[in-house]
Each structure stands twice: as C-alpha cells, then as structure tokens.
Amino acid sequence: MEIVIHDLSKIYPNGNRALLNLNLKIGHGIFGLLGPNGAGKSTLMRILVMLMEPSSGMVTVNGMELARYRKEIRSWLGYLPQDFHFFPKLRSGEFLDYMARLSGMKNRKERSDAIERILEEVGLFEARDRMASKLSGGMKRRLGIAQALIHRPKILVIDEPTTGLDPEERIRFRNLLSEISAGEVIIILSTHIVGDISSTCSHMALLNKGEIAFSGSPEELIHEARGHVWLIRADDEAYHRINARYPVISTVPSKEGWAMQVVAEKLEDFKGEPVEPNLEHAYVHFMENKLKQQLEDRMETIL
Ligand code: ADP
C-alpha cells in the first residue's frame, strides 16, 4: 500500500494558505509528520481522511485517486483526531460497538469478537464496562485508537498522538503503535513533539508554513546536524552572549557556571566540544540553519 500526494495545495476561504504544492510518498510503517503549530499538519490529515477537499492537487492510494474512490478508500481508513470526544453516557465497550456499527460492521457476533480483541490489544479489557468519560487521559487515548482500529484499517491517521498524556502513558501509546505497525499498515502520526517521531518512525517529513522542508528518515535529518551541535562550558557573562548568539537547546548548571548545548553551523568566538546530535538537536538545526539557507537560495533565484 502506498499513498502519493501530488502538488497538493489548500487555501481556506479567508485566504489562509495552509498547504502549498506538497509532494510526498508514504509507504508501510510509521510515518511522522513533524512541524510547528500552524504548519498545516491538521489540514493535511483532514484532506487525507476526506473530511476536507484540497484547493488543487490530488492524493492517490495504490494509484486510486481519493476524490474518485471515496467509498472504497474510506473503508481502509482509521482516524484519531486531536480533539476526539466520547459520548459521556456510553461504556467503553458500548462506545466501540457504536463506532463499529458506524464503520459498517453489521454482524453482531463479528462486532463483539472484534471489540473483545481490540480491547485486549489496547489494554482496556478490564475497563470495558467503565463509562468512557471516566477513563484516565491515557486510557481515553487508547480507546480513541481502539475505535480507529476496530474495522482493521489499512491506513491509520493520528493527529497529535500524545497530547495530554503523562510520560508513562506516552511510552505505552508509542509501543502500541509499534505493535500495530508490524502488520501491512500505514500509520501517519502528525505531531509537534519531536520525541513522538524519534522513537517510533521509520520515515518522516518536516512541514513548515505549508511546505515540505525535509523528507527522509529521522537518521538522515540527524546526519545533517552532525558537526553542528556543541557543548560550551560558560560563566555568567558568556552565558548571556551565547544566548544572544546561538539557538540554545539545553542549559544545565555546572561547576564552571553553565553547560550549554547550542546549535551552530560554525562555532565562532567560543570554545566547545562537539556533541552527537539527537532528533531534537537535528530539528532545531534544520529550522535555524537549513531552512534559512533554503529561503535565501530561493530569494536569490527570484531576484
Ligand atoms: P497545524 O496542524 O500544523 O497546527 P493547521 O493545519 O491547523 O496547522 O493550520 C495551518 C494554517 O491554516 C494556519 O495558518 C491556520 O491558521 C490556518 N487554518 C487552519 N484551519 C483554518 C480554517 N478553518 N480557516 C482558516 N484558516 C485555517
């Protein structure tokens, strides 16, 4: 299964340009869509799950155009939106039964088998008789995943997967996604949290102001930051100068004053030790340096 996005743009009726000529290929496994707030992630997700039409361009799934094969492709989709709400009067199991019926599962026995299986998979079997509204944040999120998976979709789209989860629930949720991705499934995660991407995704794209700034593996993005992340040991006076000069990723008090991790294409006027970058470093490096460079190159071609 493959999703191909061709020259996709979305301009809202008020003139907001949310997506601009996007081109992207998404294959099996977990695909991370990372970008700051307002980058256009939700807009893209909503177009992918057919809640919204693009202004131009198209999306194909296995060569089939979304706009022409709506019914068929919809049956392959599972979606967990950012602001997912439950019916407060339904128990977890009843809620899943309702969602299963909505997704076209007419056979009662088939539905109850599917509900039992999915409740086990997301670790909510014990909570099947609890009111959905009384579950913890992490359990609600897992129930959200359960409703998105109940009809065994081939494409699972999740917007901001770990919002509102505590660290333990976050890890559990990521592990659950890894388990699901072992099948022939495409999982698309959209997030502004770098950690959601690094631990689970094999491929990713960086969306910025409606455009794809990078697409590849997290390791490729990290590779680009190698040699551009530094640890500087600074006293109070240097601390202020460094803050004014470089993007600072972390500051930890130390014997000499401060141990600061900074991103710099070239480190000037300060001495530092090189640091092996992680995805967070790479993201900052990309946004600060590469992106600026891309924009400057583009301006040069325009002028
Ligand atoms: P993200 O999910 O990355 O935060 P969005 O897709 O929500 O980004 O938004 C992308 C851009 O489109 C933003 O500038 C936002 O203000 C704008 N936008 C989103 N929804 C609407 C809407 N319904 N009407 C007008 N503009 C919108």
Which segments of 69-225 does DSSP mark as H helices, in order?
70-74, 92-102, 108-121, 137-149, 167-181, 194-198, 218-225
Amino acid (one-letter) located at 119: L
**CATH number of 2-217, picked from 3.40.50.880, 3.40.50.720, 3.40.630.30, 3.40.50.300:** 3.40.50.300
Check pocket membership of 15 for ligand 1, CB cut-off 6 A: no
pTM for the whole thing? Answer: 0.87
Cα(23) to ligand 1 centroid in Å equals 19
The structural domains of the chain, with segments of one domain joined by +, span 2-217, 223-302
Please give the pLDDT value at position 302: 67
Question: How large a percentage of the chain has pLDDT more than 90?
Answer: 67
Mutate to test the pocket of ligand 1, among 8, 10, 16, 52 (most ligand atoms within 8 A of CB): 16
pLDDT digits (tens, 9 = 90+) for 135-171: 888 888 889 989 998 988 999 999 887 777 788 888 8
* Mean pLDDT on 62-90: 89
What are the C-alpha distances in Å from 109 to residues 93, 97, 102, 273?
14, 11, 16, 63
Check pocket membership of 81 for ligand 1, CB cut-off 6 A: no
Asked if pLDDT for residue 223 goes beyond 90, the answer is: yes
Check pocket membership of 175 for ligand 1, CB cut-off 6 A: no
Q: What contacts 133, CB < 8 A, 6 or more positions away?
A: 86, 88
